[in-house]
Amino acid sequence: MPETAKMLLVLTLICGAAGLGLAAVDRSTADLIAENERQFTLRSIRRAIPDSDSPDPCARSEPAFDNAPDEDRVCIGGHTVYRGRRGDEIVGVAIVSVGERAYSGTIRVLVGLSMDGIVTGVEVLRHAETPGLGAIIEDCEWRRQLVGKGAGDMVWKVAKDGGDVDQISGATISSRSMLDAILKAQRLREEHRDEIVEADPAGEGEVCDAG
């Protein structure tokens, strides 16, 4: 066999082995990655639907539900809605919502709501805001002014825009984006309450939203 052909054969065998190795690693880690993502989602839902009459994002609380909300999610109006149940009763929902026009794109938020529309928790799922400025939206102290309130309890705008929410110093745009996400979730619950209660759970792998 010519030397060039031997080299090509060896390179082909090496590339094939490397490809098979990468495929094996990908298969072995896929389940672990999926489980880690599931646990992150469940932790966020537990904080968004706490078992508390006076929810405090800075305090630890047991969840208000005893089901697995990620197995009882529904697709409503382009949003993922996780239903938290105690027994057969829905005690709260956690709605995935996206705040537009953030400083660095969008902010993906999980908004916890009681069935009568009270905000029970707000968890940031993803953002690209500046650390130390816009990223402070993850701080529980700022979110304290948002939980325990319904749509009619205050003006859901930052103070600079005539509302009742203290914006984050130096990060007004991030604050507005967070409120945009919360308002979308509030409207969804109000406009689709019956559908949220009655809809069949989404199928495994079904994508509800693209945010």
Give the model's pLDDT for residue 22.
65
- Which of the four pLDDT bands, split at 50, 70 and 90, describes residue 175? confident
The CA distance from 97 to 181, in Å, is: 5
The CA distance from 100 to 175, in Å, is: 11
Q: What is the pTM of this model?
A: 0.80
Q: For residues 7-19, give the mean pLDDT.
A: 65
Give the model's pLDDT for residue 16.
64
Give the model's pLDDT for residue 45.
94
Q: Does 211 have pLDDT greater than 60?
A: no
Residues 103-136 have pLDDT tens digits of 556 788 899 999 999 999 999 887 554 454 445 6
Domain that holds residue 100: 1-211
Quick one: 207 exposed, middle or buried, by C-beta within 10 A (0-12, 13-18, 19+)? exposed
Q: Which two tokens stand for residue 191?
A: 């406009």
- The rounded percent of the chain whose pLDDT value lies above 90 is 41
CB 57 within 8 A of CB 44: no
CA angle 57, 60, 61 (to 5 degrees): 95
Extract long-range pairs of 175-179: CB within 8 Å, 24+ residues apart.
Answer: 175/137, 175/142, 176/99, 176/101, 177/99, 177/100, 177/101, 177/102, 177/103, 177/106, 177/107, 178/99, 178/107, 178/109, 178/122, 178/124, 178/137, 179/99
The CA distance from 117 to 113, in Å, is: 6
The CA distance from 56 to 92, in Å, is: 16
CB 91 within 8 A of CB 72: no
- The position carrying tokens 């749509």 is 151
Q: Does 199 have pLDDT greater than 80?
A: yes
Q: What is the mean pLDDT of the chain?
A: 82
Q: For residues 43-62, give the mean pLDDT.
A: 90
Count how many domains the chain has: 1
Residues 129-173 have pLDDT tens digits of 445 444 566 778 888 999 999 988 999 988 888 989 887 666 677
Lowest mean pLDDT among 70-74, 109-113, 175-179, 188-192: 175-179
Between 39 and 82, the more confident residue is 82
H-type alpha helices, the chain: 3-48, 140-143, 172-191, 193-198
Q: Which two tokens stand for residue 91?
A: 């005690």
